[in-house]
Structures are given as C-alpha cells and as structure tokens.
Amino acid sequence: MIATMLILAFDAKVDMGVVFSKPGGEELKMDIYYPADRSKPAPALLVLHGGAWIGGNRADMAEFCQAAADRGFVAATASYRLAPNSKWPAMLDDAQTAVRYLRANASKLNIDPKKVAATGASAGGHLALLLGFRDTRDSKAGEYATQSSRVKAVLNVFGPTDLTQDYPPAFDFLFQTVLGKPKKDSAEDIRQASPVTFVAPGAAPVFTIHGTADQIVPVMQAKRLDAALKAKKIDTEMVIIEGMGHEAGGKDEGRRKQFLDAVAKGLEFVRKHLG
C-alpha cells in the first residue's frame, strides 16, 4: 500500500499516539507529522487509512504523512472505530471529530484552522470525501462542538464514491458487517454513506487517483464522482493509471512512478485550494 511507496528523507518532529477522542471510553489516537519549517502556521492534512472499514491502521499512512510534511503540511494520520465492533456511521463521526480536534488545537499544533484538508486511501478516501462534502453529522457531538468538521480540499486515492452501484453481490457481506444489516434492507443507509449523495455547490475540490485494474473499488467509482463534481461546477482533477490495481502503483516501475507523480500533483492541488 501507500506506506511502502513514499519513502523520503525526513527528520522533522513527530508526535505519536496523541489521543483526540474517547467515544464510549475507547481511546482514538493520531500521529502528527510536522514540517521542518515551523516559523509560521501551516496547512493541516488529515490522513485516513484504508481497510474496508474493518481493518487497517493509522501507521499504514506513515510515509504518506512524511511526504506531506516534506511539502509543508502538518499531517495527522488518525485512527477510527472499525466494524464489526462498531457500525457505520461511527467511522465518519470519528473522522469528523479528528478534523474538529485539529481546529480546536490549531494554536498548539501551529496550523491554520482555515486551511484544513483531508486525504485517504480506499475506505480512508471515502471518509475524506465525506469530510469535504458535509459538516458534522451528529448534531449532539460534544467534542470540540464549536468547530467545523468540514475540510477545504480532498485528495482521494481510489476511495468508494457511490456505494449504490458497481459492486458485485460478492461484496454484500461487507454491507452486513459495516452497516449491521443486509444490503437489501439498507438502501437509505447506503445512500447516506455515499459521497456522491452530498455533492453540491460549495463542496470541496477533489483530486482523485485510481487504477483501471482495481478489482476492489471499480474505476467507474472515480468517474462517477468526477462527473458529479463537474455537473456542480466544483473543481476536480482525476488521474487514471492504466493497469494499476487497488494499490500504490504495484510492482511495475512505470506505474509506480505514475502513482508517485500523481500523489505529488494531488498534494499541490490541495495546497492551491487551501490558498
């Protein structure tokens, strides 16, 4: 995955295991990577791991955070609750809490609270998109309640965008695991969990990276999102990598270079839209 692909020279400060939320008493943590130059407030980038909402770890995104910090971001890779122990939308609530934590602690972290973006791979990309398209879901959210959960730009790495279509019946077990009920009984839940549902004027600009050979998240998902954003006149860029699967370029040197180049371009896209 991405963590093995973006190794750069890096010696800046990292705060490991920072507790940002305790839903139901469970400690959720983030690792925060700082740029070498801390002379002024930096833009912040929340980085979310993949794993189909049932697995993965924030440490999977360590090198991605290093790459972002090397480009001037304060990059925070955050944990979130996973299924089957927790059901949707716990994952979204945790990601939104992480954004609010960054804003609430902007002075301490030396970030600009007006310049917060999100990125993620696979399920993490899905969550990052929702952060760009809607504000706090839970009106009773108590943690950092005065802060917005919405981010200003998104770098989406092969994230699911429309869970209502393109997925074969073999994936129905995942809906049961994450939502807690069969897909056939979950039409509205699935629609509410789909980022395309919330594409509207004012949504965050998105840079998407996807591969044509992705057997987990069909490339059509990226194309559907791109079309929906364009229809609402929201800035969107998409890099489709021929032959790349659900991976950071894979073993092919050419595709790996294309992926790394796309990530660099995506981070610049995010910086541009943060102003």
Averaged pLDDT in 10-residue chunks for the chain of 275 residues: 45 89 96 95 98 97 95 98 98 98 98 98 98 96 95 98 95 95 95 98 98 97 98 98 91 91 97 96
Q: Which amino acid is at 69?
A: A
CA distance 18 to 183: 36
Q: Which CATH number fits domain 2-274: 3.30.499.10, 3.40.50.10420, 1.20.1440.130, 3.40.50.1820?
A: 3.40.50.1820
Dist. CA 194–CA 132, nearest whole Å: 13
- pLDDT value of residue 236: 98
Maximum Cα–Cα distance across the chain: 54
> How many Cβ atoms are within 10 Å of 55's Cβ, its own excluded?
12
CB 137 within 8 A of CB 89: yes
Q: Which amino acid is at 40?
A: K
Q: What element of type H or E holds 62? A: helix 62-70
Q: How far apart are CA 88 and CA 76, in angstroms?
A: 22
Per-residue model confidence (pLDDT) at position 12: 61
Question: Under 8 Å CB-to-CB from 245, ≥6 apart: which residues?
Answer: 211, 213, 214, 215, 216
Quick one: 59 exposed, middle or buried, by C-beta within 10 A (0-12, 13-18, 19+)? middle
The answer to whether residues 46 and 95 touch, using CB atoms and an 8 Å cutoff, is yes
Alpha helices in 180-252 (DSSP H): 187-192, 220-231
Report which of 86, 94, 132 is spatially closest to residue 270, judged by C-alpha positions.
132
Residue 8, pLDDT score: 45
Spell out the domain ranges in the chain. Answer: 2-274
What gap in Å lies between CA 155 and CA 127, rounded to an integer?
11
Q: What is the pTM of this model?
A: 0.95
Give the pLDDT score at 1.
45
CA distance linking residue 59 with residue 61, whole number of Å: 5
pLDDT given at position 4: 41
- What per-residue confidence (pLDDT) applies to 2? 52
Residues 6+ apart with CB under 8 A from 202: none
In which element (H, E) is residue 15 found? strand 14-21
How many residues are present in the chain? 275
Instruction: Give the contacts of 56 (CB within 8 A, at least 6 positions apart).
Output: 49, 50, 82, 123, 124
Q: What is the pLDDT of residue 248?
A: 85
Strand partners, 45: 75, 117
Rounded distance, CA 14 to CA 247, Å?
A: 26
Give the pLDDT confidence score for residue 15 in this predicted structure: 97
| DSSP 8-state secondary structure symbol assigned to residue 204 | P
pLDDT at 9: 46
Report DSSP state, residue 87.
Answer: -
